[in-house]
Amino acid sequence: MMKERIQNILLGLKVSVTRWKTYRPFMAATTSARQVQLDLLQELLQANASTRFGQEHGFAGIQSPEDYAQAVSIQGYDSLQPYIEEQSRDPESHALVSEPFLFHNVTSGTTSQSKFIPVTSRVLKALQRSQDLMVYLQQKAVPGAYAGKVLGIASPAEEGVNEHGITIGSASGRFYKNMPQVVASKYVVPYPVLEITDHEWKYYTVVLCALQHPDITYFATANPSTVLKLVSILNERRLDLWRDLNTRKVVGLDARYHPLPDTIHACVRPTADRLATLQPLLCGTAPLASETLWPQLRLFSTWIGGSCGVALKAARYAFPASTEIIDLGYIASEIRATVTTDPIGQAGLPTFQDNFFEFVQKDAWENKLPQFLLLDALEIGQEYYIFITTFGGLYRYNMNDIILVTGYQGECPLIRFVQKGKGVCNITGEKLYEGQVLQAIDTWGVACQHVQAVADVEQARYVVYAELSEDTPYTEEASSRVLDDALQVLNLEYRDKRSSGRLHALTCRFMKPGALQAIKAHAVASGQREGQFKTVLLQYRADLDFDFEAWSR
């Protein structure tokens, strides 16, 4: 008890420093957010004017955002990749940025192979500030969230080295590995567990570590589908878990899965009291969830927007009713774009002191009539595509993400991630959006572990594949009618195309149990980051490389 009291005092001091050093200046700067952005753009351009990219695009002569937009076209990874490759091969070339690359952050790529995003010293410092700010804001929103133990899951800091000797890994893993001891001592999953190479063994060991601590008050993981995986392990491997807790060893885990397996076995050290509590639970047959095992859980932080919302609804039952859920923020491997300052509206302020932002109203971008706006020119209630410029060399980079403006703090908008830009399909002119599919699923009201909506152009219809998380009285036929009717209400063009017969009725297909895990395994094998797995909810069938029909009942 004394150790925990000291830990909380030291953590409180750290959070207090963040309040005065980071939070208060951040909030004060929102009153002049536009000028902060203009100054930041000039600083960034001047710092990189001598790079090959900067010289080719005339950074030295750019005086305004309008000049910048005129000089630099919208970029994607493919257009920047040659510069990234050149500077990776020859650091002295400074092809992209004036700073050296510390490592490459690997994207989770929703539909393509992984991409390698440069991380510089300045970028890493900005990410650390945002991380500290998030901890402060979560403490502020949910007092006591960090009072007990912390269950956090991240990707490894290092996952390899490329042919040029640059480390490939994740920034979140680096923070986890190098966190101050006062913080690390509160985490129930030691960093070496995150380095287990086999995902099944990794999550199994995470559960083993978590089971040893009844006083977990905070749980964070990027994708809520991870919760479903952990609950599945709890219930399907309960006797294996009980065996390993008693033998104090992860039976079967050896050098094939971790270079130092003894460091993993050392993580299994339950107390006699905890074993006594766990015996009737793990040796029984009643369904297990965190409500039973970790009743003190106060805060779950995860991605909430887009397709993650489907898994979150299925995962919610696993937590105590009193557990608060707060969005991790709009975060990607390319950028930490927001910190959640409005936990009720699940929206946050952009990281405007570290990154330059441009926006285009959704319809204007999709109609190829873009008008680029700075953050102080956005309208509440409107949706926008977002374009970023970072000190890591992403210049006017198209995130292909849609955000919603929910309010303002000074001159700075509060924004929330809505969906991927690719989450829109058009078979006969209906322009169906991922957000509309999500609303239709809400109307349906059936708890699902995973949903994939598919635009079948050849059949002129949409197909919704759903892995149910519980039994439902709905048949596939009835579900098809409910979803189709809901979309006709939500999208007038969809209704018109259905009425005219140009678009056929939606079909709902129930998937076999385990489909989500199969989809995830397939995505990881194709290059996605396992720890940041996510999907595009709505896609064209031609763009899918997973056989959903094979997993249909």
**66-86: average pLDDT:** 96
Residues 270 and 207: their CA atoms lie apart, in Å, by 13
Each domain of the chain, given as residue ranges in start order, spans 2-10+126-327, 13-122+331-420, 424-551
pLDDT at res. 113: 56
Quick one: which of 378, 406, 353, 414 has its CA closest to 24? 353
- For the chain, what is the mean pLDDT? 92
Q: Please tell me the pTM assigned to this model.
A: 0.85
pLDDT at res. 130: 95
The amino acid sitting at 13 is: L
The amino acid sitting at 157 is: A
- 3-state SS of 325-372 is EEECCCEECCEECEEEEECCCCEEEECCCCCEEEEEEHHHHHCCCCCC
CA angle 109, 113, 114 (to 5 degrees): 60
pLDDT at res. 39: 98
Q: Which of 266-270, 310-314, 462-466, 525-529 is least confident?
A: 525-529
pLDDT at res. 126: 96
Instruction: Please state, in angstroms and as integers, the Cα–Cα distance from residue 236 to each residue in 15, 149, 231, 241, following that order.
Output: 39, 25, 9, 10
When pLDDT is cut at 50, 70 and 90, the band that residue 137 belongs to is very high
Residues 329 and 342: their CA atoms lie apart, in Å, by 10
Residues 506 and 390: their CA atoms lie apart, in Å, by 42
pLDDT at res. 311: 79
What is the edge-to-edge ordering of all strands in the sheet holding 338-342?
338-342, 347-350, 412-420, 397-409, 383-389, 356-361
Which residues make beta-bridge pairs with 448? 468
Given a cut of 50, whether residue 479 has pLDDT beyond it is: yes
Given a cut of 60, whether residue 258 has pLDDT beyond it is: yes
The answer to whether 269 and 248 are in contact (CB under 8 A) is: yes
pLDDT at res. 216: 96
Within a 10 A sphere around the Cβ of 222, how many other Cβ atoms? Answer: 22
Residues 100 and 530: their CA atoms lie apart, in Å, by 27
What percent of the chain shows pLDDT beyond 70? 98
Instruction: Note the CATH number of domain 424-551.
Output: 3.30.300
pLDDT at res. 525: 80
* Residue bearing tokens 């596939």: 476
Q: 551: burial class by Cβ within 10 Å (0-12, 13-18, 19+)?
A: buried
Paired tokens of 213: 């601590």
The answer to whether 537 and 438 are in contact (CB under 8 A) is: yes
Quick one: which of 87, 534, 113, 36 has its CA closest to 332? 534
For the chain, first and last CA: distance in Å?
A: 52
